[in-house]
Amino acid sequence: MGGGEGKGVEAELREELEEVKMALAREQRRTRSLGEEVRETKARSLAAQKHLEEEEEAIMNKLIKRLEQLQKEKEQLKSKVLVEEEFLRQGEERLKEVDREKQDLQRQLELEQEYVVNKLEKKLNELNLEKAKLGKYKVDLENQLEQEQEHIVNKLQKKADKYLDEKLQLVSEKKDLQKHVEKLQSQVAKLSSDKVVLENQLEVEEENIVNKLQRQLEEVMKKNRALEKRINHSESETSEDEASLFHEHYASFMTKSMTAMHRSQLNYSKFSRGRPISPGSAPTSQTNPKSGGAEGQQG
């Protein structure tokens, strides 16, 4: 029994030893893990401390620069304050000088006012005397003016009566003139209607003359063409004298015809410039000369 118990105790001890070894191994792993964490934490702490030192250095540099700038601004403000104090001192001196000038001007103004018042009082006394004289002169003028006005009113009354008589006479003459003007207007209207009738008659006669000349010109052209044909056929039998005589008669007739047409057109144009052309007669007076001229050119 003793040997069996010893083996049992040894087995338990071995088991406990194994458990202790396992626990030791876990603790060692944990210790290594904690050591790594400690190293990492230390490294992060060093980095943070270094970053903090850099930020502190940057802040210190910035503060130093700001302090230097403030120092410069302080010096500038100090110089400006000195300038302003000097300006204020000069201003106070100028103000004192202006006060002295003001007092001098006030004394001078009082003297001038006293002089002006005395002068105005003297002038006022003179004006009062002059006013009294003018008042007396005014009364005399008013009396004289009343007399002259009465004389002028009487004279104007007489002229008004005379003008009234003349006005009545002019009104009568005006009525007579109006009647005469109405009579003349009726005569002008009659003459205008007669003028229109004469213009229409003249246009008709002009048109008849132009048409007649055109017909004569056409007949002459036909005869000319016929004679030219005959001359061409009998050129060998006709003498040069007869041919020249024919051409002379023909040229004389054409010249007279064209001259008559041109004279008629000029007379009609001169007459048309002095009167308005009626719508019905305008086309006739414009068309016939053109047609006659075209036929003359063809001939």
Compute the distance between CA of residue 287 and CA of residue 267 in angstroms, rounded to an integer: 16
Q: Residue 184, exposed/middle/buried by CB under 10 A (0-12, 13-18, 19+)?
A: exposed
Residue-level pLDDT at 88? 86
With 70 as the cut, is the pLDDT of residue 294 above it?
no
End-to-end CA distance of the chain: 181
Rounded average pLDDT over 54-65:
87
The answer to whether residues 265 and 289 touch, using CB atoms and an 8 Å cutoff, is yes
Residue-level pLDDT at 282? 38
With 70 as the cut, is the pLDDT of residue 264 above it?
no
Rounded average pLDDT over 181-192:
86
Compute the distance between CA of residue 181 and CA of residue 187 in angstroms, rounded to an integer: 10
Residue-level pLDDT at 241? 53
With 50 as the cut, is the pLDDT of residue 46 above it?
yes
Q: Report the run of H or E that residue 20 belongs to, with start and end.
A: helix 2-233
Compute the distance between CA of residue 297 and CA of residue 299 in angstroms, rounded to an integer: 5
pLDDT above 90 covers a percentage of the chain that reads 0
pLDDT above 70 covers a percentage of the chain that reads 75
Compute the distance between CA of residue 86 and CA of residue 299 in angstroms, rounded to an integer: 118
Residue-averaged pLDDT of the chain: 77
Compute the distance between CA of residue 213 and CA of residue 197 in angstroms, rounded to an integer: 24
Residue-level pLDDT at 299? 36
Residue-level pLDDT at 280? 38
Helix axes 2-233, 240-273, angle to 10 degrees: 120
**pLDDT band, residue 292 (cuts 50/70/90):** very low
Q: Is the pLDDT higher at 290 or at 204?
A: 204
Compute the distance between CA of residue 26 and CA of residue 18 in angstroms, rounded to an integer: 12
Residue-level pLDDT at 240? 54
Compute the distance between CA of residue 100 and CA of residue 94 in angstroms, rounded to an integer: 10
**pLDDT band, residue 295 (cuts 50/70/90):** very low
* Tokens encoding 216: 């004569």
The answer to whether residues 211 and 284 touch, using CB atoms and an 8 Å cutoff, is no
With 70 as the cut, is the pLDDT of residue 263 above it?
no
Rounded average pLDDT over 137-159:
86
